[in-house]
Chain A
Amino acid sequence: MAASGFEGFEKRLELHFFGDDPASGLSLSHHGLRLLDSGSLEDVLHAVQCTIVSAVGNQYFDSYVLSESSLFIYPTKIIIKTCGTTQLLKSVRPLIVLARTLGLSLGSCRYTRGSFIFPEAQPFPHTSFKDEVVYLEESLPSSLCFRKASIMHSKVGSHSWHVFTACDATAEMAVRPVPDDLFTIEVCMTELDRAQARKFFQSPGRVGKFTGDSAGRAMTALTGIDQINPAALICDFAFEPCGYSMNGIDGDRYSTIHVTPEDGFSYASYECVGSVYDDLNDVIRVLRKVGQIFRPGTMSVSITCPSADSWTWVARALEPLGLKRRSCNMDEFPEAGTVVFQTFTMTTARRETLDEGIDPHEDVKQLGCAPWY
């Protein structure tokens, strides 16, 4: 592992809003947060220290590729995911203020992240999970009275999952335009296969001749990222001299991939929305394709609001690739519901992370609803 480098692990924030007057709020909520003007949005991102590099929208939501990850704006929901040394939580207060100008109030908040590869490089309030939680507690209105913070550990020391959620009980009904049948999948991958990671470097002759847009498109096709969900419209971008980001939009669902390909701190993330009504084979195929593209040494998968058996198919998707499940952890959170956090490591001999001391069947026996460390 390098002594220092770019932090690929993202911080993710999801905010749900509701209109003051549900009856008349309908026309406002129809577009809601999408009506925020570009200048105000830019100011918020400036506070976080990232900028917009590409964007596209459809009838359901707007998506933005940022200099350090992604932003999705639905009428009553905002999702921001940023990496590097961005100060993501500084967007909370300004977003609450901006939403109020549209007559929208905050109903719930969800903050998640993995473990930083370079934690000492993080600025306040991301200096520790405790600092982040305190900062969030102070930034959220007291109406969000149901709160919980927890670190979900795993048998892989470098991958833990940090979760904080808060919600307002009375607004909960109005706030859930997203029905319980949707779930979010957040995948974090480290120690990427070197040959695969190389595809995310712009070749020296190309830099300057090609722009971020077209170089991004080339990487999407070369790596097969466009095959993960062929129906999605992809908004991609390649950074100089390396690095890649994409947002996929498919109806009202987003997907997003971010890659830091440098050896020593390589990282890639994949996130998407699934439904309990989806054909499970499709979801398995998607996750397997992601594993095939990056062939990571370690992969962690967090699923929020899953269906009863949602964690079982993840292992089914990944084991044929040589990714063995090392741990599974479950916990319940306000608004978010159940969060299932699983870690996998590559078992092939050429992987340095192989730990032959772990009995691969031990985890399966211990699975249950109680979190364990």
Chain B
Amino acid sequence: MGSILSSFLGGSSGEGSSESARVQAFHSSAEWQSHLNSLKESPKLMVIDFAASWCGPCKLMEPLVHKLADEYADVSFAKIDVDELRDAAQEFKVQAMPTFVLMKGGKEVDRVIGAKKDELEKKIVEYRATS
């Protein structure tokens, strides 16, 4: 069977902070805009995780995103709370959560909608390689 999300939960779901060093959370539009601009010319792949604190699937996916961020050090990971940064969520047309938007050179190259660990990892591997 394909990978099971729940097998990753183990004991880590209880650990306090939802912000790991490798997943940068943005709390203000200004901060976010400036970060987006800084990566416009970069060949680096960026994964933006649009999530909500009250959305179960987002909470489920969180530890998996941290794992992916740790594993793929050459990929930039950002986290946006759709309530905090409503404009950003609207700009990226986020309707369901979690939504992962993959960006390269300031442009969206793909997205994954839902807590789909395998699909997200597959796309990270695919897009980080191409330039």
Contacts and interface: CB of A to CB of B under 8 A. Distances in A.
B97 interface: yes
A212 B2 contact: yes
Bin chain A's interface residue count.
35 or more
B118 A213 contact: yes
A237 B115 CA distance: 12
Given A214-B119, A233-B113, A35 B54 contact: yes
A91 B24 CA distance: 37
Interface in A1-50: 31, 34-39, 41-42, 45
B3 interface: yes
Contact of B96 (A37, A54, A57, A239): A57
B2 A62 contact: no
A230 to B, nearest CB: 15
A133 B113 CA distance: 39
Given A54-B115, A233-B96, A212 B59 contact: no
B1 interface: yes
Given A37-B13, A39-B14, A235-B114, A45 B6 contact: yes
A158 interface: no
Interface in A68-94: 73
Interface in B1-43: 1-7, 9, 13-14
Contacts of B61: 55
A57 B118 contact: no
B9 A56 contact: no
Given A56-B113, A211-B3, A212-B2, A62 B56 contact: yes
Contacts of B116: 54, 213, 235
B1 A56 contact: no
A51 B13 contact: no
A67 B56 CA distance: 17
Contacts of A55: 5, 56-57, 60-61, 114-115
Using C-beta atoms within 8 Å of the partner chain, give the interface range for chain B.
20 to 34
Nearest to B5: A52
Contacts of A213: 2, 116, 118-119
Interface string A209-232: 001111100000000000000000
Contacts of B4: 51-53, 67
Contacts of A42: 6, 9
A301 to B, nearest CB: 29
Contacts of A39: 9, 13-14
Contact of A56 (B6, B13, B96): B96
B118 to A, nearest CB: 4
B55 A34 contact: yes
A212 B114 CA distance: 14
Interface in A191-221: 211-215
Nearest to B7: A51
A37 B59 contact: yes
A38 B9 contact: yes
A58 interface: yes
A46 to B, nearest CB: 8
Contact of B57 (A62, A67, A233): A62
Contact of A51 (B6, B58, B97, B122): B6
A34 B2 CA distance: 26
A42 B52 CA distance: 20
B96 A249 contact: yes
A31 B58 CA distance: 14
Interface of B: 1-7, 9, 13-14, 52, 54-61, 95-98, 113-116, 118-119, 122
12 contacts: A37-B14, A38-B56, A38-B59, A42-B9, A53-B1, A54-B116, A57-B96, A58-B97, A67-B1, A212-B1, A212-B3, A215-B2
Interface of A: 31, 34-39, 41-42, 45, 51-58, 62-64, 67, 73, 211-215, 233, 235, 237-240, 249
Smallest CB-CB A-B distances: 4 pairs? A212-B2, A56-B114, A55-B57, A211-B118
Given A54-B115, A57-B96, 15 more contacts: A34-B56, A38-B59, A39-B13, A52-B60, A53-B4, A54-B114, A55-B57, A56-B115, A57-B55, A57-B57, A57-B58, A67-B4, A212-B118, A213-B2, A238-B2
